[in-house]
Structure 1
Amino acid sequence: MDTLSDEINLLVTLNAGYLAPLKVMLYSVHANNPDEQIHLWLVHASLTATEVADVQNLTIAFGWQFSNEQVQTDFAGGVPLIKRYPKEMYFRLLSGQILPQSVKRVIYLDPDLLVINPLRSLWELDLNGHMLAAAVHRGVTNLVDSVNQLRLGTTTSYFNSGVLVIDLDQARAKIRLEDITAMIAEHQSELLLPDQDVLNFLYGSDIVEIPEEIWNYDTRKYLTYQTRSLNQHDIHWVMAHTVILHYCGTPKPWDANSDSKFTGLFLNYQQQLRRLIPKLSRPTVDEN
């Protein structure tokens, strides 16, 4: 295993539609990793200078490093578009080509999650030669794997793309935009979750599995986790051991009709963030 920097590189890729939940997610990272050195890499195609400054303002308050990586039009233009899905969803897979060569590893996080315990052990995870680490949302049985193997013609488990550890040197060597484009052109009618299907179809054999109940807990499936663990993984266990809560599906916890077991936790972090923001000084914004 290569020597890692003490500084944790976090990668986020999004458009303006997910900026509000992103800020709540970042606040949760800081609240539960207060002593970590963190470098946030914001990868996007279309955020305005003001929107970028809003994110940067938070990182300044947290004492983090911040890099704004706007994907150039010619690069973004080569990404195939699928109705209802933004091109930004592919940037996590293409991050090796987007980020500087000096960046060797990142943890990618979706904006619709909370980090409620320390991330350090995920950052230091031994990938055992694999390019990626990800979790599988299995349910009570392994039916999800079987259905997706049949649908995509794969033999590996079906990994969720919302939390990834990425070895960027391997990604630079193995992940190519033209492979992604060709896969989508050939299988577009079969794709349900395009970025996740691409991840599994092209790179599933190069992923090491991490436990979902720790690193990518599907907040819709509390009773499923309870059943699988023979009632050991109750809410007390989750708060003590789970690191990443993922608000998969809809409604999202910021939606008015959301009322799940984990909605209140998200709303509390959102409320704390709203109390913090008025106290922050804004950095200078260059709109040119």
Structure 2
Amino acid sequence: MMNILVTLNANYLPPLKVLLHSLFCNNKDESFSIYLLYSDIPDQDIKALEQYIISKGHRFTPIFVDSKWFQDAPVFRHYTSEMYYRLAAYQFLPEDVDRILYLDPDIVCINPITDFYWTDFENCLFVAAEHEHSAKMARAINKLRLRTPNAKGYFNTGVLLMNMASIRKEVNIEEIYQFIEKNKLKLVLPDQDVLNALYWDKIKPADSLKYNYDARYYELSKLIPKRKHSIDWIRRNTVLIHYCGKDKPWHKQYKNELKCFYDQYKE
């Protein structure tokens, strides 16, 4: 059974259902145990989500988190306080969960995730991908800003394979709190900054084009002569498409061609 973690508020329930539907459709031989960390979702919505997941033959474990856990942490733009819950997941998840895959709700799965889910951690706490097209230009700035001169990159937290057995031993929630308090005025992508600052040497890199394809990159790649990342290439090779940024495929004005994958599973 594969463990999947999501952390969100009620506003992200519709795209979450699209994500789950895409997971279930493209991993028909797998069983999933879905864990939801939340603070602000009505009971009737939790029950409806549970009925949907169970009807598809999978398990669902909702876990209420008191909003006081990160009440003083910075939240801005389209981010919510629930983004921090993945960093403290070891505090809430059952002890028998030894690995879990965190996914942002603005993601769709278009191919099987089995190979990625069972990636060898090689003594790392996390497996994550760097969006090189955007992070590469700011890499030097991020290393200076976060004081991580030897970091391998700046990793996106939207897809995060978590080694829970080791995280319980090595991650300290007080250290996270202290970092946020000390640096709250410098945090740009808050939870992502925390992960890259505190655990930069405990992250195993993954292929972003396969496991965390930034939909914004597809539009940029149109400017590249003889680009290889066509819709067909993505359909054959990519596992997880991530609709990063404030513009989302469920917005009417969204124009990105990769919206076709979101619409497929929305229907």
User: What's the TM-score once normalised by structure 1's chain length?
Assistant: 0.86
Deviation at 1:231, TM superposition (A): 2.1
Aligned counterparts of 2:225 and 2:167: Cα–Cα separation in 1: 35
Which residue of the partner structure matches residue 136 of structure 2? 142
Q: 1:239 aligned to 2:235?
A: yes
Write the mapping of 1:39-118 to structure 2, written as runs, cut at 5 A.
Answer: 39-71=33-65, 73=66, 76-79=67-70, 80-84=72-76, 85-118=79-112
Paired residues of 2:33 and 2:60 also in contact (CA < 8 A) = yes
**Structure 2 counterpart of 1:120:** 114
From 179, 200, 211, the equivalent of 2:175 is 179
Matched, 1:207 2:199: no
Contact 1:133 1:166 in 2 (8 A): yes
What is the CA distance between 1:87 and its match in structure 2? 2.3
Tell me the equivalent position of 2:258.
262
8 Å CA contact 1:114–1:244 kept in 2: the answer is yes
- What is the percent sequence identity of the aligned residues? 35
Call closer, same or farther: CA 1:184–1:53 in 2, change over 3 Å. same
Aligned to 2:159: 163
| Structure 1 residues 141 and 44: CA distance shift in structure 2, 3 A | closer
Match of 1:20 in 2: 14
Question: Any unmatched runs of 5+ in structure 1?
Answer: 1-6, 272-288
Structure 1 residue corresponding to 2:126, chosen from 115, 128, 132 = 132
Q: Shift in Å at residue 233 of structure 1?
A: 2.4
| Aligned AA (1:258) | Y
Structure 1 residues 179, 41: CA separation in 2 closer, same or farther (over 3 Å shift)?
A: same
- Which of 77-86 and 225-234 deviates more? 225-234
Give the Cα separation in 1 of the matches to 2:58 and 2:252: 32
TM-score computed with the length of structure 2 as normaliser: 0.93
> In the alignment, which residue of structure 1 is the partner of 2:249?
253
2:186 counterpart letter in structure 1: E
Counterpart of 1:130 in 2: which secondary structure? coil
Contact 2:73/2:184 (8 A) holds in 1: no
* Shift in Å, 1:108: 0.4
One-letter code aligned to 2:39: A
After the TM superposition, list the runs of 4 or more consecutive aligned residues in structure 1 that deviate by more than 4 angstroms. 223-230
CA shift digits 1:163-220 (9 cap, x unpaired): 0010112111222221111111111111111000001011111000000000000001
Q: Report the 3-state secondary structure (helix = DSSP H, G, I; strand = E; otherwise coil) of the residue aligned with 1:162.
A: strand
Q: C-alpha distance in 1, partners of 2:63/2:225?
A: 42
Amino acid at match of 2:252: A
Partner Cα distance (2:122, 2:226) in 1: 31
Counterpart in the other structure of 1:11: 5
Judge conservation of contact 2:102–2:158 (CA < 8 Å) in 1: yes
Residues 219 and 256 of structure 2 are in contact (CA less than 8 Å); yes or no, is this contact kept in structure 1?
no
